[in-house]
Structure 1
Amino acid sequence: MRSASCVRDYLQLVRLPATFSAWSNIIAAHLIATGAQPQWRVLWLQLAASTALYWSGMILNDCFDLALDRRERPHRPLPAGRIPVRRAWVLGGGLMVAGLGLAARIGAPAFLVALALALAILAYDGLLKGGGLGPLTMGTCRALNWLLGLSVVPMAAGSAALVLPVLLYTMAVTVLSGSEARGADARTNGITAALLGLVALSFIALVGAGRLGEPLVLAALALAVVPLAGRLRRMAEDGSPAAVQRMMRFLLLGMIPLDALLLLGSGHWPLAAALLLLLVPGRLLARRLYVT
């Protein structure tokens, strides 16, 4: 019984349900870069490198936040003492090194992107999280994860521009995440809604500029906006910590449909539909393990 509980603690520490959103970044970007002709060896290495770096970021985040979590989230594995802090530091650092090593096996471009991602993770976790640059830094982390998927081929400016919705969306999620413990006020809700509005505008701009060649993506975007707008309205009415946490789960796994929209806009609608299947394990696991 203790063994199962120990495994659960580590799965909590790395935010296992949210890992599927990191995978969707890689898969979508890889398929767009290769014209839906995946290079399987590279894709597996990209997924492994992304997973190692993502888990590293989650673990180191909790290591840096230990004093805060002892006050606000004492039930989590590190502040509760169920995982030794020193072990967490070693594991987080080891996973970061492993992620860089896996990226190096892909090639120099992938390694450089992974190195930039590792530095951005450290900057966010250790320095910038609580300040005004926090959302932009976290958005940069997600954008670099997406670019890691693109690194299978030489990156053109047109392909790299597709990362803009991912950057803006992640900034919105990060702004809201700062209210998990105390609840969201009108200012937080307003900034979150504004950034999500910019995500929609970025899709329109990418279609208008010819970076997304399938106009059908705008119809799919409109369908996605309806439930999101409803949730934002409810957040404005109830900004309690519980409501914020529910919204955070929705938005974090919402990265998967966002990636699917980018695939759809690139003309790969069957693959976009298949990518949505990652929502299934993500949502099932989110019922038992926290996502944020």
Structure 2
Amino acid sequence: MIFAYLQLVRAPAGLTAVSNILAAATIASAGLFSHQLGYLIIASLLLYFAGMGLNDCLDYKEDLKEGSNRPIVKGKLSLKNAWFFSLSLMVLGNFVAFQSSLISGYLALALSASILIYNGLIKEGLMGSFCMASCRYLNWLLGASFVGLSYANLSIGLPIFFYIAALTFLSKQESSGKNKNAVYGTALLLSLTLISLIGLICYKFNLNHTELVIAAIILCIASSLIGHKLIKVFKDFTPANIQKMISWMIIGVIPLDAIMLGLSGHYVMGLIVLALLPPCRILNKYLAVT
């Protein structure tokens, strides 16, 4: 039964929500932490798991038609219990966020609203992708709210926004693999991710010459790697390959957060966040993130 609930919430991917919080809090606070960060990590996990659970609840009929391996379809969990569990996680997540600060609580409410809008109303096409990206963006701001919010901090979450939009846009093809042109849209959104990272380097992060060289090397390596992966999917555009790419990109949120920490000069924290990658990959073998 416990394993079924872990499947429902796609537990390994929860580590990507944690990496968002750690990266955002570190950059926003210049690495100065307090116990309030713990509240934000717990709230983020609860809200992320709530979103994953609600996704399965609302997609139940569609998953049933497609013969999905999701736990509700397989009868490992009842739909009623899944609804109760997911909504309970959402309520608890908001409660915990308010224990950190009022700003964090309001952001958690906004994140919850975005989760419900995405899962229940706006899920398809580019707008659906942007809606999902808004959920991650708000999760990033939740981490930044550790020290309060400022206009300057609003721009820091843009790379994660465009990256998740790209990931979600491509994920719409993982069941059918019919629209190969989706790769072009994904590539465009990933390009915006890169541009926003460069923008942060130029206008937000105060880097010296050596740090700029390191940043350039990091971005070149990351861009080459993801570009190579995307080309492989384009050449063999099948549901199986698309799903592998989506899984890789979801887990890739952790390296993206680590990269942002590195670009901002927080190298040690970047390595700490990157340490979340191995357990996430190992757990993904038993509890799929897609």
TM-score normalized with structure 1 length: 0.95
Q: Which one-letter code corresponds to 2:264 in the other structure?
A: S
On the 8 A contact 1:142/1:170 being kept in 2, the answer is yes
1:290 maps to: 288
1:42 maps to: 36
Pair 1:212–1:95, CA change in 2 (3 A): farther
1:258 maps to: 256
Higher alpha-carbon deviation: 44-53 or 200-209: 200-209
Compute the displacement of 1:38 (Å).
1.5
Pair 1:212–1:111, CA change in 2 (3 A): farther
Q: 5+ unaligned residues in a row in structure 2: which ranges?
A: none
Instruction: Give the Cα–Cα distance (whole angstroms) in 2 for the partners of residues 260 and 62 of structure 1.
Output: 29
Compute the displacement of 1:210 (Å).
3.2
SS of structure 2 residue aligned to 1:45? helix
Cα deviations across residues 42-69 of structure 1 (Å, max 9, x unaligned)?
1111011001100100001110000000
On the 8 A contact 1:159/1:211 being kept in 2, the answer is no
On the 8 A contact 1:53/1:99 being kept in 2, the answer is yes
* Pairing 1:85–2:79 present: yes
2:177 maps to: 183
- Aligned partner of 1:232 among 222, 230, 241: 230
* Pairing 1:165–2:159 present: yes
On the 8 A contact 1:135/1:172 being kept in 2, the answer is yes
1:3 maps to: none
Cα deviations across residues 14-73 of structure 1 (Å, max 9, x unaligned)?
00111111110001111112211211x211110110011001000011100000000124
SS of structure 1 residue aligned to 2:50? helix
* Pairing 1:69–2:67 present: no
On the 8 A contact 1:212/1:265 being kept in 2, the answer is no
SS of structure 1 residue aligned to 2:71? coil
2:244 maps to: 246
Compute the displacement of 1:184 (Å).
5.4
* Pairing 1:101–2:95 present: yes
Instruction: Give the Cα–Cα distance (whole angstroms) in 1 for the partners of residues 178 and 28 of structure 2.
Output: 38
Root-mean-square deviation (Å): 1.3
Q: Which one-letter code corresponds to 2:195 in the other structure?
A: L
TM-score normalized with structure 2 length: 0.95
1:31 maps to: 26
Pair 1:73–1:17, CA change in 2 (3 A): farther
- Aligned partner of 1:124 among 118, 123, 127: 118
SS of structure 2 residue aligned to 1:58? helix
Pair 1:101–1:134, CA change in 2 (3 A): same
Compute the displacement of 1:211 (Å).
3.9
> Number of residue pairs matched?
286
Instruction: Give the Cα–Cα distance (whole angstroms) in 2 for the partners of residues 251 and 32 of structure 1.
Output: 23
Instruction: Give the Cα–Cα distance (whole angstroms) in 1 for the partners of residues 206 and 142 of structure 2.
Output: 19
Q: 5+ unaligned residues in a row in structure 1: which ranges?
A: 1-5
Pair 1:235–1:184, CA change in 2 (3 A): farther
Pair 1:27–1:19, CA change in 2 (3 A): same
1:22 maps to: 17
